[in-house]
Amino acid sequence: MTSISVTVNGTVRQADVEGRTLLVSLLRETFGLTGTHVGCDTSQCGACVVHVDGRAIKSCTMLAAQADGSTVLTIEGLARDGALHPVQAAFHEHHGLQCGFCTPGMIMAAIDMIERHDAELDEATIRHELEGNICRCTGYHNIVRAIRAAADRMAGLRRAAE
């Protein structure tokens, strides 16, 4: 067992993990953060996307021990003071979900995408960026609309803050 310390959603958490423990298992089974889903066990679906040190990663591809000393943001850490994150709100407003299983990973991937592309986030770029996230319900049209709307909203918030 290895002792690790990870800041998850703003809270420092410690755990003893086996060398083979995946980050997704640490989050779900040890820390009880079940919003991060395990969909395929092969890193194909993107349901397990979280942010590690500000970058979107598939948490089923990272060992928990590799996250030692890192900052991890999960879907549970997005809402602030009861207000949804702009991407969460856009998914709700634009019906970017159906069964909801892929939604946490889609939202976490979308936030990373928006932060990296800013105003240059068009439909083709969104669809390309979503290739690592599978949704079996929506056909992606509403997801793309939600991400585009969230990108616009977040750009407006950035401009207002400047």
CATH number of the domain where residue 123 is located: 1.10.150.120
- Is the same domain home to 90 and 60? no
**CA–CA separation, 57 vs 160, rounded Å?**
30
Using alpha carbons, select from 20, 155, 15 the residue that is nearest to residue 86. 155
pLDDT at 119: 66
- What pLDDT score does 40 carry? 86
Domain that holds residue 15: 2-77
46 vs 132: CA distance, rounded Å: 6
| R_g of the chain, CA atoms, integer Å | 16
Look at residue 7 in the predicted model and tell me its pLDDT: 98
- For position 21, which CATH number holds? 3.10.20.30
pLDDT of residue 71: 98
**For position 24, what pLDDT does the model report?**
98
pLDDT of residue 78: 97
Together in a domain, 93 and 57? no
Q: What is the pLDDT of residue 137?
A: 85
What pLDDT, on the 0 to 100 scale, is given for residue 43? Answer: 86
Written in H, E and C, the secondary structure of 109-155 is HHHHHHHHHHHHCCHHHHHHHHHHCCCCCCCCHHHHHHHHHHHHHHH
- pLDDT, position 156: 85
Residue 92 sits in the same domain as residue 41: no
- Cα 36 to the center of its chain, rounded Å: 8
Residue among 135, 81, 126 at smallest CA distance from 105: 135
pLDDT in tens, the chain (162 residues): 999 999 999 999 999 999 999 999 999 999 999 999 998 878 899 999 999 999 999 999 999 999 999 999 999 999 999 999 999 999 999 999 888 899 999 999 999 999 999 767 899 999 999 999 998 887 799 999 999 999 999 988 888 888
| Three-state DSSP state, 58 | strand
3-state secondary structure at position 42:
coil
**Pairing mode of beta strands 2-8, 71-73:** parallel
CB 24 within 8 A of CB 64: no
Phi, psi dihedral angles at 58 (to 5 degrees): -85, 115
Which of 44, 77, 110 delimits the end of a domain? 77
Gap between the Cα atoms of 29 and 48, Å rounded: 13
